[in-house]
Structure 1
């Protein structure tokens, strides 16, 4: 399975500007709402924030992988964001997060959701990949980097 198969270039946000967890989630969801008019973005943010209450998705090493399931979604959606300044996402290592991979999945596709989360985790464990991700100049460079993972 390649993560690149679940990505779309318009869902790569290289310059997140929000400085709060809820702000970042709203910013990440926004392009999905534009692409999928049936998506209630306010509801999606509530689902993600409810998931965060169970335990942070800020896993450390500047990484957060917020995720949630939505019943009216037809396919898995992955949004990639980067915050040059970093955001307090209540990460396990108490450091700001700069790398965000948001995963939204249909309620009925649990197995695929878990495989994608596992693939993201594997890719982001590589320090060199994280450095290249943060050094990429723009959407185009991020897109090329993410196509092979």
Structure 2
């Protein structure tokens, strides 16, 4: 499963305004609700914050992949955001996060959830890809870069 099969361009936030972790989660959740209006915002935030309490999803190198699982969800959903200023996400390397993929998966899904997390990690492992995403001018360009790089994984 490719990232672009799950990422609606309308769920991309090119310039995250948030300055702290919880506000980032809210902004990315709101982007997801733009494409999946049946989501319960408070429930999504609850599962994301619950997951963050287990350990930060800031994986380092300016990347965070907050994720959680929801009951009664039919498909995995993704939103993407970029913060030019960076946000302290309690990342493993202590550096601010600039690139965020938020995933919400059906509660019973294991395989597709883990495969998608691995694919996103692989995509963002490349310093060149991270740089291109940071330099993109808008959401459409961000989506195009993700689609192009996703194709070559």
User: Normalising by structure 2, what TM-score?
Assistant: 0.94
SS of equivalent to 1:73? coil
Deviation per CA, 1:82-126: give whole Å up to 9, x if none.
001100100001111000000110112111000000000001100
Does residue 132 of structure 1 match 2:121?
Answer: no
1-structure distance, mates of 2:57, 2:81: 14
Runs of at least 4 residues off by over 6 Å: none
Does residue 113 of structure 1 match 2:116?
Answer: no
SS of equivalent to 1:53? helix
Deviation per CA, 1:58-82: give whole Å up to 9, x if none.
0100000000000121101111000
Report the equivalent of 1:40. 40
Aligned residue pair count: 149
Is contact 1:39–1:72 with CA below 8 Å preserved after alignment? no
Structure 1: segments with no counterpart, 5+ residues = none
SS of equivalent to 2:79? strand
1-structure distance, mates of 2:74, 2:40: 14
1-structure distance, mates of 2:30, 2:19: 16
2-structure distance, mates of 1:72, 1:88: 32
Does residue 53 of structure 1 match 2:48?
Answer: no
Q: Where do 1:1-149 residues align within 5 Å? A: 1-148=1-148, 149=150
SS of equivalent to 1:9? strand
Give how far 1:34 is off: 3.2
Give how far 1:50 is off: 0.6
Give how far 1:146 is off: 1.2
Give how far 1:14 is off: 0.6
1-structure distance, mates of 2:138, 2:37: 26
